[in-house]
């Protein structure tokens, strides 16, 4: 296993093949089921990356959807998820749902050992540029996805955990 990255604790192994879009959907469904029933490290840390379980509400269906996503921590310690869909030219469904503020003014996030509600922040401008630079320094394959995304800017979403009450 080769480890890449610059920030301690955020390096991710790169000895994996990017799955196809169909494989991503199947893997995610299996991963969601595991995450709902276990807090074991081997459920929450895959390919050297920590994951979270994001709950969104379908913008058309109104149904709750769950997706397992790797996250990266920004310099302030906030979790950031990447709407890359492995470099697809289309945004993933979870991101489209999350972008609809009327359906998703806030979201439920399950992490290893707990849950929290947060208002997702879709990064723009300087916040996007700084976060993207830090992310690809640790996980350079995200830059590879830009080439296959057909000009689509890959969205970044900050999921800040509210302070404990």
Per-residue pLDDT at 25 exceeds 80: no
Model confidence at 6, pLDDT cuts 50, 70, 90, reads very low
Please state which of the four CATH numbers 3.40.50.720, 1.10.240.10, 2.40.30.170, 2.30.110.10 is assigned to the domain occupying 3-159: 2.30.110.10
116 contacts 109 by C-beta, under 8 angstroms = yes
- Nearest partner of 52 among 83, 80, 17, 76, judged by Cα: 80
Q: What is the pLDDT of residues 43-96, one digit of tens each?
A: 999 888 999 999 999 999 999 999 999 999 999 999 999 999 888 889 999 999
Give the whole-angstrom CA distance, residue 79 versus residue 18.
Answer: 22
70 contacts 77 by C-beta, under 8 angstroms = no
Q: What is the pLDDT of residues 125-153, one digit of tens each?
A: 999 999 999 999 999 989 888 888 888 89
Per-residue pLDDT at 159 exceeds 90: yes
Q: How far is CA 146 from the centre of its chain?
A: 16
């Amino acid at each position: 296993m080769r480890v890449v990255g610059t920030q301690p604790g955020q390096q991710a192994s790169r000895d994996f093949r990017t799955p196809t879009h169909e494989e991503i959907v199947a893997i995610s469904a299996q991963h969601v089921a595991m995450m709902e029933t276990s807090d074991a490290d081997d459920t929450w840390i895959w390919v050297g990356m920590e994951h979270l379980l994001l709950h969104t509400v379908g913008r058309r269906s109104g149904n709750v959807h769950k997706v397992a996503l790797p996250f990266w921590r920004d310099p302030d310690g906030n979790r950031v998820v990447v709407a890359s869909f492995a470099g697809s030219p289309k945004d993933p469904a979870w991101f489209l749902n999350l972008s609809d503020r009327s359906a998703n003014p806030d979201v439920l996030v399950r992490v290893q050992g707990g849950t929290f509600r947060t208002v997702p922040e879709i990064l723009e401008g300087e916040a996007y540029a700084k976060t993207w630079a830090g992310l690809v320094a640790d996980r350079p394959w995200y830059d590879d996805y830009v080439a296959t995304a057909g000009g689509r800017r890959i969205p970044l979403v900050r999921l800040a955990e509210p302070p404990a009450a």
